[in-house]
Amino acid sequence: MGGVEDDEPASKRMKLSSEALIHLSNGSTVKESIVGSSRDLMARPLQSDGGEEVVGSKGVIKKVEFVRIIAKALYSLGYIRSGAHLEEESGIALHSSIINVFMRQVLEGDWDESVATLHNIGLTDEMIIKSASFLILEQKFFEFLDEEKVMDALKTLRTEISPLCINHGRVRELSLSIVSPSHCFTVRSPKQNTSRARSRTKLLEELQKLLPPTVMVPERRLEHLVEQALGLQRDACMFHNSLDEEISLFADHQCARDQIPSYALQVDANGISLKHKLSGHQKPVSSVSWSPDDHQLLTCGVEEVVRRWDASSGECLSVYEKAGLGMVSCGWSPDGKWIFSGVNDKSISLWELDGRELECWKGQHTLKISDLEITSDGKQIISICRETAILLLDREAKVERFIEEDQTITSFSLSRDNRFLLVNLLNQEIHLWSIEDDLKLVSKYRGHKRTRFIIRSCFGGLEQAFVASGSEDSLVYIWHRGTGELIEALPGHSGAVNCVSWNPTNPHMLASASDDRTIRIWGLNNLSAKQKDTHGNGIHYCNGGT
Amino acid sequence: MDVDPRLYEQIAVNDTDVHNIIMSYLVHNCFKETVESFIACTGMKQPSDYLEDMEKRKRIYQFALEGNALKAIELTEQLATNLLEKNKDLHFDLLSLHFVELVCSRKCTEALEFAQMKLTPFGKEQKYVEKLEDFMALLAYEEPEKSPMFHLLSLEYRQHVAESLNRAILAHGNHPTYTAMERLIQQTTVVRQCLNQEHAKVIHQTFCHEYLVQRNSKLH
């Protein structure tokens, strides 16, 4: 067998002898009896250039391992002759001769012989030998049952399996299966599946998982390594924004920038025609948001009331107010059945659509004109509660968590999977926080400009892999969320860009709103300009003014 | 509870009550000769139907305790027909006793056949499947005494089954299944526990010691 992985220099390597001791890389030793035929001889002595042979430019791939997994892949693909030829030509055997014998015995059902061979492979871990013996004898047991040789099966159980003294739970199940060969018990389906002997090939696969990988190369190892590499390439690809990208093995995967929306498809100054003018608020309107079903709008007057409108008729459906107090922000529940709003006495109120107040949380909860969001499962309400802290309130557990920052927080936005929060800070940084289990700062994004106004940022793209933000230098900034690298700074607006919103269903479309009184829709260069509404569940704010 | 527990010393005890308690205990446990002599000594009225059945129950109990379940079952059927049909758990337990006997005598083939014929039909109900698994597991070991289910071979287990059978037979004949004595001891133990908890004391003495052994303070 050619499995010589030796960390010592050539001079210390064992010479060919009739019983060779081979040190395997996992520290265990394999004793081998060499059979006389030429196929079974150890590999031709390797070049004695000191050290082991390696392939690849980095010198980390051991040649013997490399050849063995290629041979394994050839056999898996069904190219038996090619596999055998490779073994012969390279002088590196996929498996040692004793393993080949073992495998043959298992496939042919020579159970007792295979258990004996198992002991001769030279494994040092007793448990592995016992577990493997257990599997083989279990197969013997079930094959007896299949052939209706009940007493033989019982004998195997009593004299061979139980004495191993492992896996007593399984022994119990086996004893039961002696009396239930014809599935006469009604309720036990998950266990029923194992009461028939499985195929010997499956048994071999199970055994191979049990034995150390250097002894028996795992199935599909090469495929697994390749998939791993492709996965890493995909994760590292900063512009990856399309589902239908096919990854080829011939070149490293790298999307071109052209997957990021960077082309102004439509510039609307007065473009979007006015449908309704919703009047009723006495004070400036600080926020507006669409209902989850897109039929209604919720607006909030600054320290005034919250109003609910029908979007198609323009009619005001409800007014939510609290005596002596003013509302500062508002939002919809994910199911559209209730609304919540921040009140200027620092509490948060929950309302039924018909105007009845449901709940009220008091305390240091909201500031004036602050962001207020709710997770899509309706469980957590998130709001800015102090200048430098964000509160995450779990409605059911009544637990409060806080994100603390050093700088003043200006705005935040929640990712669609409820796992991340983007926090905009006074010092022109955007921080990405993970909010799933522990609150953790994950990334920071810099480059945009913010000095005077509130700028909003958002998640976007395929699997929300990007972060976009407006900026006072009139550019739209886009970063790769994972690496934090700035990918694009899109020119086009002639005034501060206040707010951006990435299309939730089309990863190739982005909208931005600016002080230059226009809204721009950004898309891919080769797409025809499509006007798609980007409101969806998003909340859009305008700086001051109605 | 603020009441001094030693107030019990003020309660009068009726002799007839005591005799009845003792009698019920003796009858339950089939101490026939003792019953007869007790009746003679105290002049109590003899409960007529008890005595016949007592003899039969005694034999059934003995057979079950020895592990001769088949005989126990046969006699039970004679004494109380349909009893085992109505008490499937008990029936299974009795049959399992026989199975255990076969396993202990290393008669594996017979044990297997018996299990297949008599025990597996119970397996249609989920709760018996686990029990069945317990017993079948005994077959898997050449030395069942060393298997994880060795407790099924013990005297305690047989006692448990025999007692369940005894109670079932009594119930079948509309007799009380628990003796007054048992109930009294159980209730008293609970009361003691409550009292001791109230005073934050841990019960060190066993029931026997508490009530049957004279305390030093009372000797004088």
Check CB contact of B117 with chain A, cutoff 8 Å: no
Instruction: Write the Ramachandran bin of A283: left for phi over 0, alpha for psi from -120 to 50, otherwise beta.
Output: beta
Number of domains composing chain A: 2
Which pLDDT value is given to residue B92? Answer: 92
- Inside any domain, residue A411: yes
B194 band by pLDDT with thresholds 50, 70 and 90: confident
Q: State the nearest Cα–Cα gap between A97 and chain B, in angstroms.
A: 35
Tell me: pLDDT of A360 over 90.
Answer: no
Q: A233, exposed or middle or buried, with CB in 10 Å at 0-12, 13-18, 19+?
A: middle
Select from A187, A185, A141 the least CA-distant residue to A167: A141
Select from A417, A203, A376 the least CA-distant residue to A292: A376
**At how many degrees (to 10) do helices A97-108 and A200-210 cross?**
140
Which pLDDT value is given to residue A71? Answer: 94
Q: A179 and A309: one domain?
A: no
- CB contacts < 8 A (A, B): 64
Residues 148-167 in A contacting B (C-alpha not used; CB under 8 Å): 150-151, 154, 157-159, 161-163
Report the mean per-residue pLDDT for chain A: 78
Tell me: pLDDT of A287 over 70.
Answer: yes
Question: What Rg value do the Cα atoms of chain A yield, rounded?
Answer: 34
Which pLDDT value is given to residue A47? Answer: 40
Q: A132 and A200: one domain?
A: yes
Q: A210 and A283: one domain?
A: no
Q: A195 and A325: one domain?
A: no
Q: A425 and A512: one domain?
A: yes
Q: Worst-scoring range by mean pLDDT, A141-145, A373-377, B74-78?
A: A373-377
- Inside any domain, residue A11: no
| Token pair recorded at residue A189 | 């389906």
Task: Write the residue in B115, B140, B142 that is nearest to A174 by C-beta.
Answer: B140
Tell me: pLDDT of B73 over 80.
Answer: yes
Select the residue from B103, B116, B127, B128 to test the A interface by mutation, using most A Cβ atoms within 10 A. B116
Q: Tell me the per-residue pLDDT of A461-496, one tens digit each, with 9 for 90 and over.
A: 888 889 999 888 889 999 988 888 898 888 888 888
- Inside any domain, residue A253: no
Which pLDDT value is given to residue A72? Answer: 93
| Token pair recorded at residue A16 | 């060919």
Q: Worst-scoring range by mean pLDDT, A181-195, A217-231, B144-158?
A: A181-195
Q: A287 and A205: one domain?
A: no
- CB under 8 Å to A484, separation ≥6 — which residues? A443, A444, A445
Report the mean per-residue pLDDT for chain B: 83
A371 band by pLDDT with thresholds 50, 70 and 90: confident
- Inside any domain, residue A141: yes
Q: A316 and A460: one domain?
A: yes
Q: Using CA atoms, how far apart are residues A364 and A390, in angstroms rounded to an integer?
A: 11
Which pLDDT value is given to residue A246? Answer: 73
Q: Using CA atoms, how far apart are residues B56 and A505, in angstroms rounded to an integer?
A: 83
Q: What is the mean pLDDT of residues A69-93?
A: 93
Per the model's pLDDT, the better-predicted residue between A167 and A314 turns out to be: A167
Which pLDDT value is given to residue A537? Answer: 33
Task: Write the residue in B123, B126, B141 that is nearest to A162 by C-beta.
Answer: B141
Q: A215 and A280: one domain?
A: no
- Inside any domain, residue A316: yes
CB contact under 8 A, A172 and B134: yes
Q: Using CA atoms, how far apart are residues A77 and A98, in angstroms rounded to an integer?
A: 23
Q: A315 and A212: one domain?
A: no
Which pLDDT value is given to residue B79? Answer: 86
Tell me what percent of the residues of chain A surpass a pLDDT of 70: 79
Task: Write the residue in B124, B140, B142 that is nearest to A171 by C-beta.
Answer: B140
Residue A282's CATH number? 2.130.10.10
Q: Using CA atoms, how far apart are residues A486 and B220, in angstroms rounded to an integer?
A: 97
Residue A155's CATH number? 1.25.40
CB contact under 8 A, B136 and A184: no
Tell me: pLDDT of A222 over 50.
Answer: yes
Q: Using CA atoms, how far apart are residues A456 and B29, in angstroms rounded to an integer?
A: 86
Q: Using CA atoms, how far apart are residues A534 and A247, in angstroms rounded to an integer?
A: 30
- CB under 8 Å to A439, separation ≥6 — which residues? A392, A401, A402, A403, A433
Per the model's pLDDT, the better-predicted residue between A4 and A292 turns out to be: A292
Tell me what percent of the residues of chain A surpass a pLDDT of 90: 14
Task: Write the residue in B109, B126, B139 that is nearest to A175 by C-beta.
Answer: B139
Residues 134-173 in B contacting A (C-alpha not used; CB under 8 Å): 134, 136-142, 147-148
The DSSP bridge pattern shows strands A54-55 and A497-502 to be unpaired
Which pLDDT value is given to residue B163? Answer: 92
Which pLDDT value is given to residue B9? Answer: 76
Which pLDDT value is given to residue A42? Answer: 47
Q: Are A293 and A315 in contact (CB under 8 A)?
A: no
Q: Tell me the per-residue pLDDT of A4-14, one tens digit each, with 9 for 90 and over.
A: 444 444 444 44
Tell me: pLDDT of A546 over 70.
Answer: no
Which pLDDT value is given to residue A84? Answer: 92
Check CB contact of A174 with chain B, cutoff 8 Å: yes
ipTM of the complex: 0.74
Tell me: pLDDT of A149 over 70.
Answer: yes
Residues 60-79 in B contacting A (C-alpha not used; CB under 8 Å): none
What one-character DSSP code corresponds to residue B144?
Answer: G
Tell me: pLDDT of A20 over 60.
Answer: no
Q: A168 and A302: one domain?
A: no
Q: What is the mean pLDDT of residues A347-374?
A: 75
Q: A217 and A304: one domain?
A: no
- Inside any domain, residue A131: yes
| Alpha-carbon distance values, A327 to A298, A315, A375, B37, B199 (Å) | 12, 21, 21, 93, 59
- Inside any domain, residue A260: no
- Inside any domain, residue A386: yes
Q: What is the mean pLDDT of residues A130-157?
A: 90
What dihedral do alpha carbons B23, B26, B29, B31 form, nearest 10°? Answer: -140
Q: Using CA atoms, how far apart are residues A97 and A121, in angstroms rounded to an integer?
A: 10
Q: A408 and A508: one domain?
A: yes
Which pLDDT value is given to residue B200? Answer: 62
A134 band by pLDDT with thresholds 50, 70 and 90: very high
Which pLDDT value is given to residue A530? Answer: 37
CB contact under 8 A, B142 and A158: yes
Domain around A103: 59-183+191-221
